């Protein structure tokens, strides 16, 4: 059993738990830093962004100023999310996220059909990195703008409620797995709804095609990771690199689903979790240098690169009958 297999297994289990958990009364709360849709009635836990947007939408003037209730609620929400997040750090994305799992399954399908994977040029890749921050900013500012008048402008329409959820590609898709097609449609209630739901459906189509040709297509734009990557230094799980042991052979960044170049280029920084990293540990699997890359939990090594491990994963065995 190698780490990739283990990860695939855990992804399937997590998918079952997060998407169908409601049927057996599992509730892992709605503070999770994963793309598990809150509109799925059978959910076993859901994305923290939906609730966050609801809190931000509540008009501030509904409460007297001396009442800190909205701020407290917001703080509690963020605190819980961050607490959940730091246990596993970005491994939430790589190991547990159901939407990530769907994309990985599409990749497996692509590999089976022998189609090559698409890669962005470095410049495009670097530019697109900022999309997730723009999405995060927009979801905050639009949510606040619904309940409050910002800069003297009129309040935004109620139809924009939970703006990110309206365009999120996971919302139409994930409930379908439980047989619920109620989110998979274009809403004609108002112009805003038409625009937003069309955007959402288009994005879903784009992401499905995109993640078939390109590994983890959506994850580079996910506002969840934009928020959580602010806290990845606090994570109990970390990815460490020993710059001197690295030969810069480039295996790690080539196999990386997120095309992270720093993993191969960076020498001086020990902590190598970057904003797009999802701790899938594929880089460690592809590294032929002993202890050059390692995943640690609370400072203890949980998985480290080694030449023997590398060769075993490449299915290369020594010839002849070696005594052990």
Partner 1 sequence: MKRKTDHQPDRQERLYPEKVVEQTRTNLVLAARGVIDLLRANPTRPKGMDYFDKVVLGIYQEDANLSTGKNREKLIGTFCLSTPEELIYAAGAVPVRLGAGIHATTPMGEDYLPVLSCPIVKSTVGLFHLKLLSVYKRCKLVIIPTTCDWMKKIGEILGNYITVWTLEVPQVKEREPARRHWVEEVYGLKREIERFTGSKITKNRLREAIRLIQRAQLEFRRLYRIRMRETPVISGSDAMLIMNAYSYDEVDRWTAAMSRLNDELEERLRERVSVCPKNAPRIMLTGSPILFPNWKLSSMIEEAGGIIVCDDLCSSNRYIYDPIAIDESTMPDMMIAIAERYLLPCTCPCFSPNNERIERILQMVEDFRVTGVIYHVLRGCHLYDFEERHIHEILQGKGVPQIKIETDYSLEDRGQVQTRLEAFLEILQGKESW
Tell me the closest approach of the beta carbon of residue 118 to partner 1, in angstroms. Answer: 10
Rounded-to-10 torsion of CA 262, 268, 272, 274: -50
Is the Cα torsion angle 161, 97, 29, 79 positive or negative in sign?
negative
Cα 219 to Cα 278: distance, rounded to the nearest angstrom: 9
Residues binding partner 1 (CB under 8 A): 111, 114-117, 121-123, 243-251, 254-255, 264-265, 267, 286, 288, 307, 310-311, 314, 316-320, 322-323
Tell me the closest approach of the beta carbon of residue 317 to partner 1, in angstroms. Answer: 8
DSSP label at residue 257: T
Closer CB to partner 1, 153 or 316, in the complex: 316
Where helices occur in 58-190 by DSSP H, the ranges are 69-88, 91, 98-112, 122-128, 131-147, 163-167, 170-173
C-alpha to C-alpha distances, 294 to 48, 80, 88, 218, 299, nearest whole angstrom: 29, 28, 15, 26, 11
Closer CB to partner 1, 5 or 317, in the complex: 317
CA-based radius of gyration for the chain: 21
What does the block give as tokens for 205? Answer: 């189509």
What does the block give as tokens for 153? Answer: 């402008």
Closer CB to partner 1, 66 or 319, in the complex: 319
Q: Count Cβ atoms below 10 Å from residue 237 Cβ, excluding itself.
A: 20
> What's CA 194's distance to the chain center, in Å?
27
CB 86 within 8 A of CB 231: yes
Tell me the closest approach of the beta carbon of residue 1 to partner 1, in angstroms. Answer: 19
Closer CB to partner 1, 25 or 244, in the complex: 244
Is the Cα torsion angle 159, 165, 167, 173 positive or negative in sign?
negative
Q: Count Cβ atoms below 10 Å from residue 13 Cβ, excluding itself.
A: 13
**Burial status of residue 14 (CB atoms within 10 A of its CB: 0-12, 13-18, 19 or more):** buried
Tell me the closest approach of the beta carbon of residue 117 to partner 1, in angstroms. Answer: 7
Tell me the closest approach of the beta carbon of residue 107 to partner 1, in angstroms. Answer: 9
Tell me the closest approach of the beta carbon of residue 320 to partner 1, in angstroms. Answer: 5
Closer CB to partner 1, 4 or 149, in the complex: 4
Q: Count Cβ atoms below 10 Å from residue 90 Cβ, excluding itself.
A: 27
Closer CB to partner 1, 6 or 108, in the complex: 108
Closer CB to partner 1, 161 or 294, in the complex: 294
Closer CB to partner 1, 142 or 284, in the complex: 284
Tell me the closest approach of the beta carbon of residue 257 to partner 1, in angstroms. Answer: 10
Closer CB to partner 1, 122 or 137, in the complex: 122
Tell me the closest approach of the beta carbon of residue 127 to partner 1, in angstroms. Answer: 14
Tell me the closest approach of the beta carbon of residue 276 to partner 1, in angstroms. Answer: 18
Task: Give the residue among 299, 221, 303, 220 at the shortest CA–CA distance from 256.
Answer: 220
């Amino acid at each position: 059993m190698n780490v990739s297999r283990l990860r695939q297994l855990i992804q399937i289990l997590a998918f079952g738990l997060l998407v169908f958990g409601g049927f057996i009364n599992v509730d892992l709360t709605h503070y999770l830093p994963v793309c598990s849709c809150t509109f799925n009635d059978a959910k076993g836990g859901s994305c923290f962004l939906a609730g966050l947007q609801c809190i931000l939408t509540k008009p501030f003037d509904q409460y007297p100023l001396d009442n800190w209730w909205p701020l407290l609620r917001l703080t509690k929400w963020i605190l819980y999310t961050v607490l959940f997040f730091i246990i596993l750090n970005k491994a939430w994305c790589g190991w547990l996220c159901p939407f990530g799992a769907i994309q990985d399954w599409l990749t497996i399908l692509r590999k089976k059909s022998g189609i090559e994977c698409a890669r962005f040029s470095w410049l495009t890749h670097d530019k697109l990195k900022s999309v997730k921050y723009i999405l995060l900013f927009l979801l905050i500012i639009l949510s606040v703008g619904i309940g409050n008048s910002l800069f003297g402008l009129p309040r935004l329409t109620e139809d924009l409620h939970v703006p990110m959820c309206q365009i999120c590609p996971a919302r139409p898709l994930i409930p379908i797995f439980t047989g619920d097609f109620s989110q998979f449609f274009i809403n004609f209630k108002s112009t805003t709804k038409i625009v937003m739901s069309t955007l959402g459906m288009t994005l879903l189509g784009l992401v499905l095609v995109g993640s078939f040709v390109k590994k983890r297509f959506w994850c580079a734009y996910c506002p969840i990771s934009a928020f959580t990557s602010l806290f990845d230094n606090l994570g109990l799980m970390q990815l460490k690199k020993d710059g001197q042991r690295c030969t810069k052979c480039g295996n790690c960044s080539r196999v990386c689903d997120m095309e992270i170049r720093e993993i191969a280029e960076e020498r001086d920084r020990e902590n190598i979790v970057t904003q797009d990293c999802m701790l899938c540990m594929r880089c460690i699997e592809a590294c032929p240098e002993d202890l050059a890359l390692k995943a640690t939990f609370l400072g203890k090594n949980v998985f480290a690169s080694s030449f023997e491990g590398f060769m075993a994963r490449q299915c290369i065995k020594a010839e002849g009958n070696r005594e052990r």
